[in-house]
Structure 1
Amino acid sequence: MILILSKNQETTTNEVVKWLSLMKKKFIRVHEDEVFEIKVFQKRIFLESSRNRFFLDEITSTWYRRGGLRFNRSHFENESVNNHMDEHQHWLEDYVLKKIESKKTINKQSNSHVNKLLVLEEAKKIGLDIPDFFLASNTNDVALNETIIKPITGNITLDFITQHSDGIMYTTIVEEFEESDFFITFFQEKIEKDFEIRSFYLNGKIWSTAIISQNDEQTKTDFRIYNHNKPNRNVRYVLPKEIEAKICLLMETLDINCGSLDFIKSGNKYYFLEVNSVGHFLGVSSICNYSLEKEIAQYL
């Protein structure tokens, strides 16, 4: 049985599920709003929610896409008993998650969010070129028009602005000094691009796409500011073998066996920018005819 941890109507998951259905494979899709009770039945651990139920030992492979397993905890009136049982339930939940992650897995709930700063440091150790970066709370030492800012985090959900919508913080060029200090921010050297590269990694295999974003002022700094009236050209691309080898080493170091990596091609150099273990990839999969959703289904 295949276990998929995702979100309601998440498009990428929908496409993988279509392939699993075509292949007649049994799977359970867990949505982010499900809460499970951990039970024991005939000496076997049994998980049950309002939508799904399964024995823990039935799971043969797992795909952590988004969301994750959530558990309902029992509460007791006696505070001492409640504290003890809360810890007891924590370790039971930890056991369940670790047993699931010991199966054949595409990514893990326990390390689903990577730290961009640590990733860049690891990439540099491995030998990948990265743009110079620094943290600062003002623009006193920033070279104008030669420096960009971007979030330390990945994309965040701005539920405080509008319910159920994702807010994207785009890469921006620093064009003027700020008068006052601000919260610590990530600054990075602005690299003049030939084009951008999005590489999809799955357990040692790599599919890359060149994104010709430099011919359009709207997408020049960040191709994610899509020009739907005049889309960027996307073409299949093969990275040099030494770069692909370093990608594999980086992903192994991070203990991530699936994700999208972003590069900038500038002259003879390939500058690594970041890795996203839960990023979108259907667009490049479709345009380049990579069928990555089928690759995921077959791996599971």
Structure 2
Amino acid sequence: MILLISSKYDITTSTVIDWLNKYKVEYKNLNTEEFNSLNSFTLSNSNISVVIDKLDFINVSCVWHRKGRLRHVPNQLNNLGNYSSYLKKEEDALIKSIELYLKDTVEYVGSYLKEIENYKLFNLIKAKEVGLQIPETLITTSKTDLSNFLNKNVSISKDIRYSVEIKTKKESISSCGTFIIKKTDLDLLDDSFAPILVQKQIEKEFEIRVFFFKDKLYSMAIFSQNDEKTKIDFRNYNREKPNRCVPFILPKKIEKKVIAFMSKVNLKTGSIDIIYTTSKEYVFLEVNPMGQLDWVSKNCNYYIEKNIASALIENGIRKN
């Protein structure tokens, strides 16, 4: 049996399920918005077993963890203040333990663990190690060092890991994503401050979104540079006038480096952002372990969801 773990609102999962139904394959889908009864996680000297929603994992041939996390705490226990916070920590430890165990016993594609522990700086280091170009980057708490960096480069700033979402009694502050940081912004800063990440702005011909699934790459060029709204970051979507998106084939040497990078960071799937520069270089930006893929599939007629279904079925047959 194939197990899918995902959000009930995820279009990609629904499309993959359509293909599994077409192929008449046995599967179970656990929705991450719903309470998933943990019947048992049994450990003994003779046996280890996991049963969730009456599904004994001994019958599972492969897992596709597309989005989100399983929920083993009943809904009525989620609004009890510090008690709920404690239960959440215990639940999180349980979920991580089960995932780590399953990865050793079945083919497991995708990862809640990798999603919550996806560190931009670590990924840049690993990308450099496999020979990919990366942006010149500075993380600093010093106004002097930041000023020196800005004097040398037109620079952008982005979050180190988490998007800004701060709520107070008076206001709500959210991140505006990637933005240009100017020398005049320094006037707003003290001599020292919390760590800030800045990168040299890269002049681009276009951006590339690569969806990766088990050593297969599906690439799409995004012509975002001619729109002021998307020029710095295509994710500042212009919904009235969307960027032109077309299929793209990465050079073999870049493709091999991307595959090597994904192996280094132990990811079997993910969405990768790359810039093709005006100086004809490919520059790695980041990877999202549970990134979107349906728009890559639709814009480029890749039928990625069909290929995912076929890969899951193939793994299931191999397991059996």
Q: Structure 2 length as normaliser, TM-score?
A: 0.77
In 1, Cα distance between equivalents of 2:23 and 2:294: 20
CA offset digits 1:40-70 (Å, max 9, x no partner): 89x883524xxx3201101111011122234
- SS for the counterpart of 1:194 is strand
In 2, Cα distance between equivalents of 1:159 and 1:143: 27
**Counterparts in 2 of 1:139-154, with a 5 A limit?**
139-143=146-150, 146-153=154-161
Asked if structure 2 preserves the Cα contact closer than 8 Å seen for 1:63 and 1:106, the reply is: yes
Matched, 1:111 2:114: yes
In structure 2, the partner of 1:97 is 99
CA offset digits 1:69-97 (Å, max 9, x no partner): 34459xxxxxxxxxxxxxxx999876643
In structure 2, the partner of 1:85 is none
- SS for the counterpart of 2:218 is strand
User: How has the CA–CA distance of structure 1 residues 235 and 56 changed in structure 2, closer, same or farther, with 3 Å as cutoff?
Assistant: same
Matched, 1:131 2:143: no
In structure 2, the partner of 1:82 is none
Matched, 1:209 2:220: yes
- Structure 1 residue 146: Cα displacement: 0.5
- SS for the counterpart of 1:143 is helix
Unaligned runs of 5+ in 1: 74-88, 162-166
**Counterparts in 2 of 1:3-22, with a 5 A limit?**
3-22=3-22
User: How has the CA–CA distance of structure 1 residues 63 and 219 changed in structure 2, closer, same or farther, with 3 Å as cutoff?
Assistant: same
Q: Report the AA paired with residue 261 of structure 2.
A: L
In 1, Cα distance between equivalents of 2:96 and 2:293: 31
Matched, 1:239 2:246: no
Number of equivalenced pairs: 276
Residue among 219, 234, 257 paired with 2:230: 219
User: How has the CA–CA distance of structure 1 residues 12 and 187 changed in structure 2, closer, same or farther, with 3 Å as cutoff?
Assistant: same
- SS for the counterpart of 1:13 is helix
Identity of aligned residues (%): 33
Matched, 1:180 2:189: yes
User: How has the CA–CA distance of structure 1 residues 58 and 220 changed in structure 2, closer, same or farther, with 3 Å as cutoff?
Assistant: same
User: How has the CA–CA distance of structure 1 residues 187 and 92 changed in structure 2, closer, same or farther, with 3 Å as cutoff?
Assistant: closer
Residue among 173, 183, 192 paired with 2:203: 192
CA RMSD, 1 decimal: 2.8
Asked if structure 1 preserves the Cα contact closer than 8 Å seen for 2:62 and 2:108, the reply is: yes
User: How has the CA–CA distance of structure 1 residues 228 and 111 changed in structure 2, closer, same or farther, with 3 Å as cutoff?
Assistant: closer
In structure 2, the partner of 1:23 is 23
CA offset digits 1:19-49 (Å, max 9, x no partner): 22222222222222324324389x883524x
In structure 2, the partner of 1:80 is none
Unaligned runs of 5+ in 2: 75-90, 169-173, 313-320
CA offset digits 1:216-267 (Å, max 9, x no partner): 1111111111112211111111111110000011001111011111111112
In 1, Cα distance between equivalents of 2:240 and 2:73: 47
Q: Report the AA paired with residue 265 of structure 1.
A: Y
In 1, Cα distance between equivalents of 2:150 and 2:41: 62
| Range with greater deviation from structure 2 (15-24 or 28-37) | 28-37
Q: Report the AA paired with residue 201 of structure 2.
A: K
- Structure 1 residue 210: Cα displacement: 0.7
User: How has the CA–CA distance of structure 1 residues 59 and 213 changed in structure 2, closer, same or farther, with 3 Å as cutoff?
Assistant: same
Asked if structure 2 preserves the Cα contact closer than 8 Å seen for 1:59 and 1:100, the reply is: no
In structure 2, the partner of 1:250 is 261
In 2, Cα distance between equivalents of 1:269 and 1:197: 12
Asked if structure 2 preserves the Cα contact closer than 8 Å seen for 1:195 and 1:214, the reply is: yes
Higher percent of residues as helix? 2
In 2, Cα distance between equivalents of 1:106 and 1:201: 11
